[in-house]
Amino acid sequence: MTDRERSTGTVLNLCFHGIGTPGRNLEAEEGRFWVGLDQFDEMLSVIRGHPSVRITFDDGNASDAGVALPALAKWGLKASFFVVAARLGEPGSLTMGDLRELVRAGMTVGSHGMHHRSWRTLGRMALREELSEARRSIAVATGKPVTQAACPYGFYDRRVLSELRRSGFARVYTSDGGPARPHSWLQSRYVVQRQDTPEFIEDLACRPRGTFVASAVRMVKCSIKQLR
Ligand SMILES: [Zn+2]
């Protein structure tokens, strides 16, 4: 159990997208979720001091393997990568070889679906393709079972969640922000944006939302810990 877990009973899940320069055409508004190379490195240097912060990546961008993997190795950190099955091998996206490299490095590879579309709006067959077929093809690529999923755009509803449960996923990530219980099936994440500073990430790591007064004490404790 980490310090944060002991004091708050929570973990902070961060969701990154791309790092550096995109190698594909981005969707509208997607650019604000791409962070700079130095910005990312500085954020990892902060995260390293907080074992209860979990790192995830969505969308399977090529920068996951080209930039994030060496940076994570440099700081001795692990992460989960949620990839879009139908994008594998496309320009700007991870290849199957990249996925195997991630797994070899001790990273977790999960599913972000087949075509990167909202699961909430899909009919039964299309939802099944997004959950079961995507999962199968990612498992074939990595040579490992896929047990975790992240909802595209963070969108979900009761039907999506029950289908994810029925499909046997052991953990599902959303983008609802705020802290999460370490062993919950549903894991909320904070989506990192270009405008975020390493100091802001540090603040998030130390201060669960909605508990401002109690968190002020924890922030001091966090700050003291960093000085040691
Ligand atoms: Zn996504």
User: Domain segments of the chain: what residues?
Assistant: 3-227
Task: Give the Å distance between the CA of 188 and the centre of ligand 1.
Answer: 14
Ranges of beta strands (E only) in 24-65 are: 53-58
Task: Give the Å distance between the CA of 158 and the centre of ligand 1.
Answer: 20
Beta strand pairing call for 53-58 and 186-187: unpaired
Separation of alpha carbons 109 and 24, rounded Å: 21
CATH of domain 3-227: 3.20.20.370
User: Which protein residues have their CB within 5 A of the ion that is ligand 1?
Assistant: 58-59, 152
Closest residue by Cα to residue 17 from 50, 60, 65: 60
What is the model's pTM? Answer: 0.89
H-run or E-run covering 214: helix 212-227
Task: Give the Å distance between the CA of 20 and the centre of ligand 1.
Answer: 17
Q: Give 196's contacts (C-beta < 8 A, 6+ positions apart).
A: 35, 43
Task: Give the Å distance between the CA of 219 and the centre of ligand 1.
Answer: 31
Task: Give the Å distance between the CA of 153 and the centre of ligand 1.
Answer: 5
Walk along the chain (228 residues) and give the pLDDT tens digit of each residue: 555 665 668 999 999 999 999 999 998 889 999 999 999 999 999 999 999 999 999 999 999 999 999 999 999 999 999 999 999 999 999 999 999 999 999 999 999 999 999 999 999 999 999 999 999 999 999 999 999 999 999 999 999 999 999 999 999 999 999 899 999 999 999 999 999 999 999 999 987 544 433 444 444 444 444 444
Separation of alpha carbons 178 and 222, rounded Å: 18
Task: Give the Å distance between the CA of 59 and the centre of ligand 1.
Answer: 5
pLDDT at residue 7, as a whole number = 63
Task: Give the Å distance between the CA of 82 and the centre of ligand 1.
Answer: 8
Separation of alpha carbons 39 and 45, rounded Å: 10
Cα separation values, 216 from 14, 52, 54, 114, 179, Å: 21, 18, 22, 42, 16
CA pseudo-torsion sign 99, 102, 104, 107: negative
Separation of alpha carbons 4 and 139, rounded Å: 33
The token duo for 15 is: 């969701």
Q: What are 121-140's pLDDT values in tens digits?
A: 999 999 999 999 999 999 99
Separation of alpha carbons 45 and 205, rounded Å: 13
In this structure, are residues 208 and 215 in contact, taking their beta carbons and an 8 Å threshold? yes
In this structure, are residues 87 and 93 in contact, taking their beta carbons and an 8 Å threshold? yes
In this structure, are residues 133 and 146 in contact, taking their beta carbons and an 8 Å threshold? no
In this structure, are residues 130 and 136 in contact, taking their beta carbons and an 8 Å threshold? no
H-run or E-run covering 63: helix 63-63
